[in-house]
């Protein structure tokens, strides 16, 4: 297949993807709200803080679900999302929730220079109740992702969610690597570059 033929094929597929993305967006817009409690979480200093306080003066909130200090992939997502914090916060507050103890989360997030507010769900069921943690053989297994919340009539609801994974729309480096002839070429996220 010639370079031009490949371009035409890619253009056709991208048109199909755009149509599917619009379809997903419409489904998300009309999704039923999921009721949530006002969980007690921990700020970076270990102080109890209500989940509702992160909405500030807004009625919407984005929560990044991070697997914690031990995950280099989640660290890469947080590193890349951190640079967008100012832009996103201009529209809606965004916080990162970690299963790590507050002191570990504080030290790690500060070492990374993350710009968003970090909260700890240590000793809370928040992450599990959001569907980003499962217990197996007395051990918790976490998954990364994002949840969108809304406050209505004094109550908290989740309006949408999505999961993170290599190649998703939330982490741009994967898409740049996809343009390369050797793709990732064995590359994996690291804690230091």
d(CA 107, CA 127): 21
The candidate with the shortest Cα–Cα distance to 98, out of 151, 172, 173, 46, is 46
Range 6-28 average pLDDT = 94
d(CA 170, CA 150): 21
d(CA 169, CA 145): 11
**What's the pTM?**
0.92
The candidate with the shortest Cα–Cα distance to 61, out of 128, 132, 151, is 151
% pLDDT > 90, the chain = 94
66: left (phi over 0), alpha (psi -120 to 50) or beta: beta
Whether the CB-CB separation of 94 and 82 falls below 8 Å is answered with: no
Range 160-169 average pLDDT = 93
Name the strands in the sheet holding 155-163, side by side, starting at the edge strand that comes first in the sequence.
34-36, 155-163, 145-152, 60-65, 94-98, 117-120, 40-42, 48-50
- Residue-by-residue DSSP string for 114-161: --SEEEE-TT-SHHHHTTSEEEETTEEEE--EEEEEEEETTEEEEEEE
Range 60-86 average pLDDT = 95
Instruction: Please name the residues in contact with 106: beta carbons below 8 A apart, sequence gap of 6 or more.
Output: 44, 45, 118
pLDDT in the model for residue 95: 97
pLDDT at 167 over 90: no
What's the pLDDT band for 162 if we cut at 50, 70, 90? very high
pLDDT in the model for residue 61: 98
pLDDT in the model for residue 69: 94
């Amino acid at each position: 297949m010639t370079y031009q033929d490949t371009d035409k094929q890619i253009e056709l597929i991208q048109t199909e993807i755009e149509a599917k993305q619009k379809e997903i967006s419409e489904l998300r817009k009309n999704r039923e709200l999921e009721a949530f409690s006002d969980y007690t979480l921990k700020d970076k200093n270990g102080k109890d803080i209500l989940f509702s306080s992160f909405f500030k003066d807004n009625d919407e909130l984005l929560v990044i679900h991070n697997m914690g200090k031990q995950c280099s992939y989640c660290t890469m997502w947080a590193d890349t999302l951190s640079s967008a914090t100012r832009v996103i916060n201009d529209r809606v507050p965004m916080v990162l929730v970690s299963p790590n103890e507050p002191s570990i989360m504080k030290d790690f997030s500060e070492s990374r220079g993350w710009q968003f507010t970090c909260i700890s769900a240590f000793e809370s069921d928040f992450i599990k109740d959001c569907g980003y943690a499962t217990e197996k053989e007395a051990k918790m297994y976490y998954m990364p992702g994002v949840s969108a919340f809304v406050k209505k009539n004094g109550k908290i609801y989740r309006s949408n969610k999505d999961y993170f994974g290599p190649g998703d729309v939330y982490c741009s480096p994967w898409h740049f690597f996809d343009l390369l002839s050797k793709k990732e070429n064995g590359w994996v996220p690291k804690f230091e570059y």
